[in-house]
Structures are given as structure tokens and as C-alpha cells.
């Protein structure tokens, strides 16, 4: 199963992605779906198994980054910074 996360000063998960980032993740085969997390007691857009439809929560997706045995691909998404991602930032 493919998962998508972004490193922009901090780790961002699909619910924090911009539209072009969501599109890029989907183009690379990541299944993203709004699902309810019992752990977080809320619904959010998350990485989803294409076979069984189970949500891979943000904590588990983050754990994959620490596992060196998990194959990974990195795709540059352009210049970005954590400050520019804030909703109150005038550039957005």
C-alpha cells in the first residue's frame, strides 16, 4: 500500500495537503479517502488501503518513515515552507 506524507518544516499528512499535492499523491497511486478515526475521534482525509479500504492513520504513516526496510520514493513538489502554509499568511 502506498502512503503520502510531506516534509515541510514538520510532517504533513493528506488532510494538510494543497490540491496540487493531493493530485500528485493520487497520480502516484496513493488512495486518499475521508474516514473516521476512532483514535482521533474525528473524520479526516487519510491514506487508505486500496484492497480493504482501511485507514492508515497519521501515526502509522509517520512510523513508515522510520522503517528503513520499507521501500520509498520521494518526489519534489517545489519550494515551500511551513510559514507559507499557514492560512493567515498573505501569500495564500
User: Taking a C-beta distance cutoff of 8 angstroms, is the pair 37, 44 a contact?
Assistant: yes
- Looking at residue 32, what is its pLDDT? 96
Could you tell me which residues come within 8 angstroms of residue 63 by beta carbon, excluding any fewer than 6 positions away?
none
CA dihedral 74, 84, 81, 32 (to 10 degrees): -20
pLDDT mean by block of 10 residues, the chain; 92 residues: 82 89 94 93 94 89 76 75 70 54
- Looking at residue 64, what is its pLDDT? 73
Best CA proximity match to 10, nearest among 43, 48, 58, 56: 58
- Looking at residue 41, what is its pLDDT? 94
pTM value? 0.78
Amino acid at each position: 500500500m502506498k502512503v503520502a506524507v510531506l516534509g515541510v518544516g514538520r510532517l504533513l499528512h493528506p488532510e494538510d495537503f494543497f490540491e496540487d499535492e493531493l493530485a500528485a499523491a493520487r497520480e502516484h497511486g496513493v488512495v486518499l479517502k475521508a474516514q473516521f478515526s476512532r483514535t482521533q475521534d474525528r473524520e479526516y482525509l487519510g491514506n487508505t488501503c486500496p484492497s480493504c479500504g482501511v485507514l492508515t492513520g497519521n501515526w502509522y504513516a509517520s512510523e513508515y518513515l522510520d522503517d528503513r526496510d520499507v521501500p520509498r520514493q520521494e518526489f519534489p513538489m517545489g519550494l515551500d515552507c511551513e510559514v507559507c502554509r499557514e492560512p493567515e499568511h498573505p501569500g495564500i
